[in-house]
Each structure stands twice: as C-alpha cells, then as structure tokens.
C-alpha cells in the first residue's frame, strides 16, 4: 500500500534540462563572431593601447564561447543525440579547444576564429536537426 502511494503516477522525460527554447548555438556563434572581428581589428591597428584592450576583450569573448558550448554539450545534448551523431563529442571537444588556449584565446589569427565558427556551424546544424524530431 505504501509503495503505491509513494510511487510516481506519471513518469515524464525530456531531452533537455529546461523546456525547449532556452538553448541555442547562436549564443556561441555571436561571441565567436566577436572574437574574429576583434582579431581583424587587432591586425589592422598598431596602437599598443588599442591592441592590449583588444586582447583583453577577445579573451573574455572566447571564454564566453566556451561557456555557451559547454552548456549545450552538457545540458542540451543527451545520450540519444550522441548515439545518432557519433561525431558530436569530438566536434564539441574540437570547438571548445578552438575557443580556448589552442585557438580563440591563444592567437590573433582570424583564420583560427573562422575555423571555430565553422565548428559552431556544424554543431548548429545538428542542434536544429534534433529540434525537428
């Protein structure tokens, strides 16, 4: 009797931690676009004060890219997604490294920022495919 009254009457599941609509790779993309724009401005300017400020802002934006990617990786995507898209873990790993010291935070080469944007575009494509099903 006690087991029946304490057992859940309705079991629900969701593919993400909050109701749909709160996760979006666009947040990471916007920050990555900022990183790339800052790198381009850095390359076009010889003023040491400007360059120092640009580096500081670029570092902050790159850290936000990593944050937004980690939230998607750990909170939105679930085991069924990783089963359907076996390269998804590797893609996130490469993207977060491209935003970190090996990329966005460790270089001022706009080509590296573009590579990061390309990785985010791949994640974005998979993300929207998961929203269809």
For 46-96, write each residue's pLDDT tens digit: 999 999 999 999 999 999 999 999 999 999 999 999 999 999 999 999 999
pTM of the model: 0.84
Structure letter (DSSP) for residue 19: S
Instruction: Spell out the alpha helix ranges (H) of the chain.
Output: 2-6, 26-43, 48-71, 79-84, 88-99, 110-132
Question: What local confidence, expressed as pLDDT, does residue 76 receive?
Answer: 93
Query: What is the secondary structure of 70-82 as a DSSP string?
Result: HHIIIII--HHHH
Domains of the chain, earliest start first: 23-132 (1.20.120.400)
């Amino acid at each position: 009797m006690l087991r029946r009254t304490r057992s859940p009457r309705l079991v629900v599941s969701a593919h993400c931690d909050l109701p749909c609509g709160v996760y979006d790779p666009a947040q990471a993309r916007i920050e990555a676009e900022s990183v790339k724009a800052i790198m381009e401005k850095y390359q076009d300017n010889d003023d040491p004060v400007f360059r120092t400020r640009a580096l500081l802002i670029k570092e902050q934006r790159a850290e936000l890219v990593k944050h937004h990617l980690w939230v998607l990786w750990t909170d939105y995507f679930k085991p069924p997604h990783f089963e359907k898209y076996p390269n998804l873990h590797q893609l996130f790993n490469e993207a977060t490294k491209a935003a970190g010291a090996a990329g966005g935070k460790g270089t001022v080469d706009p080509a590296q920022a573009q590579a990061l944007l390309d990785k985010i575009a791949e994640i974005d494509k998979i993300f929207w495919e998961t929203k269809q099903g």
